[in-house]
Structure 1
Amino acid sequence: MSKPLLKIDNMSIVFSSPDEADIEAVRQVDLSLTPGKTLALVGESGCGKSVTARAVLRLLDKNADVRTGSIVFTPAGEDATDIARLKPDSLAMRRIRGNQISMIFQEPMSSLSPVHTIGDQIDEMMTIHEGLGGKAARERTVALLDQVGVPGARERADAYPFQLSGGLRQRAMIAMALACTPQLLIADEPTTALDVTTQAQILDLLRQLQADFGMAMLFITHDLGVVAEIADEVAVMYLGDVVEQGSVFDVFSAPRHPYTQALMNSIPKMSRKADRVRLNPIKGTVPAPKDRPTGCAFTSRCPHAFEPCASVRPVRTDVGNGHHARCHLLTQAPVEAMA
């Protein structure tokens, strides 16, 4: 197995407030990414996916802090660096951010500058990190836009974000993220606001670019269909906890955590039967972060919850072939409880 490019170990992220108690938004997360592979981070909105990704680039809000754990980044041919120990505005972090690790943000319309052209924003990446001058940077920008499928790339480089469609803005964001050939690409729900046809084109593009550059990819989404199409491994988050992780095949075919099972059961299924089948939603609501149970975060919605669940946090249990889950049913309940 390849040596991890990025290894997150026991990372907790806390948001502080002068008026209320600190809120732990991400709790003791463990993740590992290897070159050429895609790890999908999935879960409901607000579960901590984007906060986890932003921590890797030290782009957290001022009241957020990586309270515990490490984020070890080991680029090819270089020594390991614990990103969690770097200051967000340090020279060492600025050398990594946008250069060795890049991010495609969730909404390109709000992430791109509305007062600068697409070309100027991509040019800037290469000027800062690679020292390319005006004409050389622009030629590289045009080539990148062409590579990601932007028609009329040279003319589009002079366009402002509001002059492009959603799909073209997303492609421009991808071109910007790839400007310095990063070793790790973080894609934060890059297809959420796109129509089905454009979504398929973007996924094909990301797969092709990953094959061309050999980069690792952290793909954040709540769409399990997208996960099945693009990812090698999947980590399922709930209320800041990674409750299950493993290969896409293992997690999808034999989910071991009740939350993952509920997610899989809630997917609408195509049927030839004349009778309409009701959707199977997950009952209950996600607790507020300040009301999170001491033990398993899914306790209040879990149909299998029993005495230790609310008070004792489950251990990360290996269920075989690198497949892990945090659930008391795996260590304390009878085998038939998981049937």
Structure 2
Amino acid sequence: MAAKPLLTINDMSIVFSSPDEADIEAVRQVDLTLTPGKTLALVGESGCGKSVTARAVLRLLDRNAKIPSGKILYDTGAGPVDIARLNSDSLAMRAIRGAEISMIFQEPMSSLSPVHTIGDQIDEIIVLHDRLNKKQARERTISLLDQVGVPGARDRANAYPFELSGGLRQRAMIAMALACTPKLLIADEPTTALDVTTQAQILDLLRQLQDDFGMAMLFITHDLGVVAEIADEIAVMYLGDVVEQGDVYEVFRAPKHPYTQALMNSVPRLMRKAERQRLTPIKGTVPSPKDRPNGCAFTSRCPHAFGPCAEIRPQRTMVSTGHTARCHLLTHEKAEAFA
């Protein structure tokens, strides 16, 4: 029996308004489902809308951003709550943010307060949500730091962020995100600035913590190697659109959208010297959201683009069980040659 979804994003769009220009659509009609104990990887080039989508779940969008349509349904256990309709400063949203849904931000040095110790910052979350006194909160903080592999946790709790290495700051961020044992953990490129050894340690740690707590995890990255190692499902974004989605093995084995194929072809591979060849880059650049094509967002860079691609947005097509893609080639007579 399939597990009940913890968070379901239905047809969600995000726009940014400006007093001098028309509204800019940053995310367009996104559908995502997160299940307890499973990891969904959200991938794509920088600026495609991954982080904005994640921040919408926690209602941490900029003041000029709004969610004009769609739902973010979170299962509280007592029934679904539409986060998209909650005020970002409401008591209901504050009870969810940090306690039931938590986030590891992309750059810990800019996300952590430079004038407060690591311990004080984690203590504050525990005191706020779990109503413990300061002594009890500090003991839990030390336990969390120890659990995420921070050596000398009791002493490190009194350290400021600038006194820690990048790897230790990232572990402190993970400890902070796990302070109240969330049901959903959002990890926004948590390994991007780390060396490969520390990156592997962080990924192992996240997998172990997910097994321990049974969390759902939304893992945001542009590194397909990381996706293959940690994710159960993948959603590929381009210019605010989810262009392909499905089981990681299925999508990696047989990618159907030209953008997913281009991403995979641009990944370096280990080869014998006689087999070595140049990487295949994705030609062109991502269009500005201000100049979004009426049709498929990838049209200007797609080597397979034809007639309707520029004017008609492709519908989501079921490729196989749980594997979907938005591409005209999948429903056109060219599909056989393309596949």
TM-score, structure 2 normalization = 0.98
Q: Give the counterpart letter for 1:141 in structure 2.
A: T
Give the 3-state SS of the residue equivalent to 1:9 in structure 2.
Answer: strand
Give the 3-state SS of the residue equivalent to 1:290 in structure 2.
Answer: helix
Between the aligned partners of 1:129 and 1:224, the Cα distance in structure 2 is 35
Between the aligned partners of 1:220 and 1:183, the Cα distance in structure 2 is 17
Conserved in 2, the CA contact under 8 Å of 1:266 and 1:279? yes
Partner of 2:56: 55
Partner of 2:98: 98
1:34-59 CA distance string (max 9 Å, x none): 00000000000000000000000000
Question: Which moves more between the two structures, 251-260 or 268-277?
Answer: 268-277
Deviation at 1:273, TM superposition (A): 2.1
Indicate the percent of aligned positions where both proteins have the same amino acid.
80
Partner of 2:211: 211
Deviation at 1:231, TM superposition (A): 0.1
Partner of 1:168: 168
Partner of 1:73: 74
Conserved in 2, the CA contact under 8 Å of 1:329 and 1:337? no
Between the aligned partners of 2:271 and 2:98, the Cα distance in structure 1 is 46
Superposed structure 1 runs of 4+ greater than 3 Å apart? none
The aligned length equals 338
Give the 3-state SS of the residue equivalent to 1:319 in structure 2.
Answer: strand
Deviation at 1:283, TM superposition (A): 0.8
Question: Which moves more between the two structures, 265-274 or 43-52?
Answer: 265-274
Partner of 1:10: 11
Between the aligned partners of 2:186 and 2:333, the Cα distance in structure 1 is 38
Gaps of 5+ in 2: none
Between the aligned partners of 1:275 and 1:2, the Cα distance in structure 2 is 44
TM-score, structure 1 normalization = 0.98
Deviation at 1:78, TM superposition (A): 2.0
Partner of 2:31: 30
Partner of 1:260: 260
Q: Give the counterpart letter for 1:218 in structure 2.
A: L
Deviation at 1:333, TM superposition (A): 3.0
Deviation at 1:269, TM superposition (A): 1.5
Aligned CA-pair RMSD: 0.8
Deviation at 1:208, TM superposition (A): 0.1
Between the aligned partners of 1:221 and 1:96, the Cα distance in structure 2 is 24
1:201-257 CA distance string (max 9 Å, x none): 000000000000000000000000000000000000000000000000011000000
Partner of 1:277: 277
Deviation at 1:275, TM superposition (A): 6.5
1:103-140 CA distance string (max 9 Å, x none): 00000000000010000000001100000101100000
Give the 3-state SS of the residue equivalent to 2:179 in structure 1.
Answer: coil
Question: Which moves more between the two structures, 264-273 or 58-67?
Answer: 264-273
Compared CA separation, residues 323 and 149, structure 1 to 2 (3 A): same
